[in-house]
Structure 1
């Protein structure tokens, strides 16, 4: 092993030939980042994994379906020896050294002329950690740095420009927000939050962050959308970075696009960060897959904020009743009986229904019912918003499960 430390450097491989010898799992891990760098990647291997085949089929690399042969490294700028044969890897490394081309040897890193660091990305930063061949240590340090950058405990001294981020917070559990959403939240000057946004995330904000309660409480007082739009625009124009934190996904009955339009009309830049929508995430946590092979080939997500017979309704309830798949109703607790009656126009009264209240949180409750019994069960179990109603055969699949630990 070399006594000296490695010299860490970034290579500009765009448009330059890179040869990867071997098509197994090591090549599978290395190829995506090489392809993303713009390198002209060529894989030499008699066989490749399905993932490598997928990269080749997508045009990311060229595959030579044969064993390594002299001349394969001609014109290469960088070489990776990733075969399962130590003797072949040694020969590749020797040939690369003779041609003065840096070569990573995957099986015995210290015998190559280059090593691959533990790499991670964060907001335009590319982090690389080397630990003298101690791969677990370098990976652990990389993961720790990324976690600290993402939760804001380690600052990269990069000021967030003014603007608005529409961030989906997920169905309620603070751990279900996306990595990008959490990172942007850590940089906010102002946070405009719904009641359904994960409240624990607000508790983690630094004291200087202004939190504006959007107060969009179902069937109660509500901040007008105009007020929310004005708050976003005025704060952004004052030079602040504003995060509009919503429950679920901003674009699934969350009025996210209305807010984007308001910002666009005011010339305010907007970043959209999708979230885990409660329409799919909450049923999954209650053992209700919204699709299942041989059971449901379609999913329809419906807003329940108006009744089926309301003149404002844009939903064709007769058509929904005739469908055989899954109907997910959001904001429908108050009118559950009316929705059940509308769906009974084309579905059996015994059609399974699952109602999940406060999904993904410690207070989650699940009621298994049917179209016929839904209205009575909602009252009997005192179901209250927020709750998701799932109608269709998939809602009865949980009964087939053995007891789970």
Structure 2
């Protein structure tokens, strides 16, 4: 394989090398430098941003049977500069709660995936922690739980005593536990109150899941993590108070982390949910602009661990009910993740190095992939994207790389466009077409 040289403004975790280059050999980063580039096939050029491929820590490829699967989720990922997805275990009709199911999912995904993937696992409440060891051995990257019962079989609530048992076992095996943070009792009580008022419009969703439902659940998660010694990760937080809590627990010695989905950094209730209604229904809900501003202050302060999408491509009929609470929760976002974060960083006058940390270095560390993933550095996989300043209005149907043609981000002006995506030095998106299925590999955590 001919050596490749990516050159332009190279974005590292601690600096941007304006006249930089990255030498890639045998699928790995060989050297990083500045000035005159070495010999090799040259990619990029003046005006190009050379960025690490993103690790999207929260993807639901199989939440709706007959929809995108890995064949499409990883196509969107490649088009958006995401070179590794971490897929959630709540597959429609197949909860990933045993080694057998995890292995079967990994084998099927490997045939379809255009980019790399890692897999969350989970449990059945009636089995508790019994199968965690076998799933660790089978290659689970982390474990996902919920303090709210979305569905008793597909997406069950895990009560605190079982959560404690699971955290203890996961901590003993050296992995991270991620939790969907909504207090079950609070949400159910508020849903009843909203329904009693007769409110069915866009405000109904946020009213049914107030901020206290998130922060109460986060306290439970972090306390259990602290008591068991398990790394405790909250997989999404829409309110500034939650990031205050995470920082406080870290100051007390807990290995507590928190994730900001890109929709919480981009959309607001009064500006976007009001016009999009069901197409902006997400759990936890999109909050008012004051909370969006608070999240950006926390990001600038270093209190956001990673940024993700919580991507799911529901069919449009499941997002178009005029009664807000009847819509499915979640939105597609893989293709828009990198451009949206770059847009936000530019608008908040923050360095692009944050993109390398929040989308590559930190998620690689969370999922124990830092031996091969996590940024542009010698010895790591050459997962590299080339972006270029090219202001344009986002059109989710334009690329042909998304299973659904709707998006809550449609019409947003993006300052940068993904020009090419490389996985281990091989092209998986050329600015127009995504590569063939089967290029992606199952990434299991370093043991």
Same fold (TM over 0.5): no
Q: Give the greater-gyration-radius structure (CA).
A: 1
TM-score, normalization by structure 1: 0.29
Structure possessing the higher relative contact order (Cα contacts under 8 Å, 6 or more residues apart): 2
